[in-house]
Structure 1
Amino acid sequence: MSKKLPTSGLEGASRLLDLAPYLLTHQGIEISELAREFAVPEKQILADLNTLWMCGLPGYTPLELIDISFDSGYVTIRNAETLQDPRSLDKNESLALLLGLSYLHEQLSAESAELANEITSLILKVRTSLATVSPQQMDVVSVISPSIRALIEEAIANRTSLIFNYHSKSKDSLDNREVSPVELYVENGSEYLIAFCHTANDYRNFKLARISEISSSARQSSSHSAVTVDPARISAQIELLDFSRNVVERFPLATPTGNRIMDLDTFNVEWLVREVLSFSGEIRLLSPIEGRRLAKERAARALAQYSDTKGAGIPLL
């Protein structure tokens, strides 16, 4: 007699409800791959398939029961249209999704307004689905270490400098900064530090949630010019090489018969370079020159990862 695999009734029922719609859209999937997808042993998947085989509509004849075939090691399913829709998320899944979406929204830069709006719409839908929790009662905020805030406040009071690592979302890198802090402020539920950055030799805004490994510096804060935390606007020009749906949705002013050259304004060359590369050759960066150089270098490094790729590239010149 085969040993029964340990699993809770709720977990097993949830997996069965997930299996049917998944199989309907993945006909012929291999049993081993199906087990990996649901993170269970193959024996458990086989047990689930045998259980699902006995499910169906009242009458329980071969005409009403779900028809599953998996003797060959590949799974096909028929007569399961009543279970074709994925089940609704439970409370724990909805909360986990809400946390993830909120974190992604917090990491977006000002240039990603369109994506931020889409994520905000999804957040509202998830909040609405949590009927037992009032949407006004839910919010996701980054937890700032009290020691980080205390060191910043102490440096402001004593007019000393700070050294810390800062995660730049536009460059997706961890940079070491030495700054003379000016003040703390809160905007849209997030804490920021205005400071004179000695690395950039200008005033910058730093989000406290992205600061790590902070320590005091021996450098004394000194007077600097007036605070100008808004970065300079950078003018850029791109050429549309393709009018795919992705390009048209991102640049709604472009039309197949319209001008292929478009002028853009941005505050960050790093963001511009990553945006160009994300189109995989559908657009060409014409200016600024520094952005073209960075885009070309990064495209070359990416292509170098493919041993069989020689001479191919994204048309940046």
Structure 2
Amino acid sequence: MAPRPDRLSRLLAMVPYFAARRGIAVEQAARDLGITPKQLTRDLELLFVCGLPGHFPDDLIDLQFEQGFVEVGFTAGMDRPLRLTTTEASTMLVALRALLDMPGAVDRAAARRAIAKIEQAVGSSETAVATGDDGDDTDNPTYATIRDAVRTGRALGIRYYSATRDSVTERTVDPIRLQTMDNNTYLEAWCRKSDGVRLFRFDRVESADVLDEPSAPPADATANPQSAILSDNPDLPSAEIEIDPSVLWILDYFMIEPLEPADNRPDPAAPVRARLVYGSPEWLTRFVLGFGGRVRLVSDAGIASRVGEVAAAARARYR
């Protein structure tokens, strides 16, 4: 049986990789290749029986890896690295340029070096794909600090500007991951001040300091990425709601994020669960009451109880 396409691509790249890194440890090679040492060992065992037509011992790729280090004796002509196709190079260049336009998404100098190497590898005819030069290669030190904290799993102390409140607050956060959306980069983190997961836009972080403690968000906070659309202000709370099919149109008119697919549901008559960011309990109470029971609160028992009290008081006025 032929290896899967993804494995075949990896096998083709392995021989020149190991030929250029003679004596590299299996563990290090596995990390570089993004696979486990066990999978790497299986790949090496397969490469060991591959080679030139004839299939005699002298025709096969010669690999030594029993002692935990990989050494290539005979490459069977596979010692030249694979070259990018024009389509692959163009795709990578466009993606790198898009990342450069997002504040804080990548190390700008590193991205430009990667662009230059790709252009050099495919020839000058592809240079035009990476349009122009926007000047400053210097990476914002605050952005670099945030990325480093995410990479190393350290807590952060930040000063953050909230546009909707026009105020700056100091917070201690536990980084979870980075997100990019609409040409902005966000830090998703557990905010100890708000006691919840929040998204912090990079260009609104005035300063960031890596703390001498690990990032330790609650386990359930890391399961599902938060939506950058709904969290421009990290101080705003959110609630889980249940929406009847007859009023699903509100998904197009309010800042609501479905927690499950609204379309192609197994039971079209079943309600849809979603997350709603709101400004105040009073606004949320009025919002839910306005739909006459077709939108229900699931996560906040206190506000749900308040909705019931206000509805009962309104009915009492008609007696």
TM-score, length of structure 2 as denominator length: 0.34
Report the TM-score when normalising by structure 1.
0.35
